[in-house]
Amino acid sequence: MNYNKKTVRDVDVAGKKVLLRCDFNVPQDKETGAITSDKRIVAALPTIQYLLDNGAAVIACSHLGKPAATFESYAKKQAEKGKEATEEGWKKSLAKLSLAPVAARLSELLGKPVIMASDVVGPDAQAKAAALQPGQILLLENTRFEKGETKNDPELAKAMASMADLYVSDAFGAVHRAHASTAGVADYLPAVSGFLIQKELEVLGGAISNPKRPLVAILGGSKVSSKIGVINNLLEIADTIIIGGGMAYTFSAAQGGKVGKSLLEADWMDYSREMIEKAAAKGVKLLLPVDTVCADAFAPDAHSQVVKAGEIPDGWQGLDIGPETVKLYCDAVADAGTVIWNGPMGVFEFPAFAKGTEAVAEALSKTHAITIIGGGDSAAAVEQLGYADKMTHISTGGGASLEFLEGKELPGVACLLDR
Ligand code: ADP
Ligand code: MG
């Protein structure tokens, strides 16, 4: 697929102040706040380096986590947990989601100082942006500290835009959201993409518009309701669809199976039946588990047993695909032309329930197929297992890549200038 949006190469960036939206939403250690993977920062480097090398002054920004932007929203969240809210507690919760550790890591990676602003569009950001020189980089504070961010408030978008001459988006992980910093700003500045968005969309677009066949899509994980909808569109493009992880039990229940305490999205049972019928009508193979590893608790040391799919005893829950299913799925992957994988096959964080995910990752590492991994946990599993460099592409955007595969418009891409 031809990428049809302008990129930083299509515009003159020299002497410009560039507002660069990155996806610095990095995973952090809960206790220490240390960044546990800098993959997303590394992924942003080519565009940052290009802009700095070509005489731009870069005003980088990103969200991090889900801070409560107002005391009221913080108090509400605390109340839900049965806790009292104090001003001090709120400030602490914000401090934990400061981008300062990202600035430090980015500075190490770039080998130059990264100036950190203490706000997003406040006096500190404005002053530092105004003083910024070509070749220098400033990082604004967490965009979600502003309550207008997730509401795509035009006033916030305008204030962000007012600091720059050009908007560059490279936050692939956030382009499926129409927020002030991912889409709104494009109303006030010429807007182009960076190299990461371009690469992601070229790879994903190629995989669905003109795939090397057979095209196999593997879906799993626990975010069932946000992922299951993609199947309808995948049935139009894939040759085989493989279902594992938590999603499998909704299909099993829809066919009258017993799923015990497994993850179940009852609202999606009718849809699951429709998908099974649609797959049959279209001649698409829809593979569902034939057996499952179930456990008497959600715990690493739970008792476990392998049972046939749909025969999970009361009180037990399916935490992995079973050995027969592993064989079936690995065979389906072996002769694929393209494989798109989103979502682990089981609770791979517990070694006793990691076999399905490990086997599928290994099978992918061995095929000659184009292999595309989406989803934070799936990518982490592949990395932990040491297969990362055996894959064709590991996407930095789980939600964005799924919405793209669903055929939905990505607001953070749609707002950019066409070529
Ligand atoms: P990704 O981040 O790759 O998009 P998700 O976030 O949807 O994937 O899901 C990842 C999580 O799914 C993992 O933490 C894993 O433990 C969990 N998971 C996988 N299979 C099951 C299951 N059968 N029951 C409960 N959780 C599961
Ligand atoms: Mg996840």
Domains and CATH numbers, the chain: 8-64+99-196 (3.40.50.1260), 211-406 (3.40.50.1260)
Give the pLDDT confidence of 234-260 residue by residue, as tens digits: 999 999 999 999 999 999 999 999 999
Average pLDDT of 6-24? 98
- pLDDT recorded at residue 376: 87
- pLDDT recorded at residue 30: 85
Among 113, 128, 121, 111, smallest CA distance to 149 is for 121
Q: With cut-offs at 50, 70 and 90, classify the pLDDT of residue 40.
A: very high
Q: Of all protein residues, whose CA lies closest to atom 25 belonging to ligand 1?
A: 246
Give the pLDDT confidence of 349-374 residue by residue, as tens digits: 999 999 999 999 999 999 999 999 99
- pLDDT recorded at residue 1: 59
Pocket of ligand 1, beta carbon within 6 A: 220-223, 245-246, 263, 318-319, 342-344, 346-347, 349, 375-378, 398
Give the pLDDT confidence of 314-336 residue by residue, as tens digits: 999 999 999 999 999 999 999 99
List, as one string, the DSSP characters of 159-183.
HHHTT-SEEEE--GGGTTS--TTTT
Q: Which ligand is nearest to the CA of 374?
A: 1
pTM for this entry: 0.90
Give the pLDDT confidence of 187-199 residue by residue, as tens digits: 999 999 999 999 9
Total Cβ atoms within 10 A of residue 335: 11
Of 408 and 120, which is predicted with more confidence? 120
Query: Which ligand 1 atom is nearest residue 348's CA?
Result: 16
Q: With cut-offs at 50, 70 and 90, classify the pLDDT of residue 163.
A: very high
Query: Which ligand 1 atom is nearest residue 262's CA?
Result: 24
Pocket test for ligand 1, best of 218, 377, 384 (most atoms within 8 A of CB): 377
Cβ proximity of 168 and 197 under 8 Å: no
SS3 readout for 223-253? CHHHHCCHHHHHHHHCCEEEECHHHHHHHHH
- pLDDT recorded at residue 55: 98
Cβ proximity of 60 and 138 under 8 Å: yes
Annotated active-site residue 223? The verdict is yes
At 103, the amino acid letter reads A
Q: With cut-offs at 50, 70 and 90, classify the pLDDT of residue 406.
A: confident
Average pLDDT of 228-238? 94
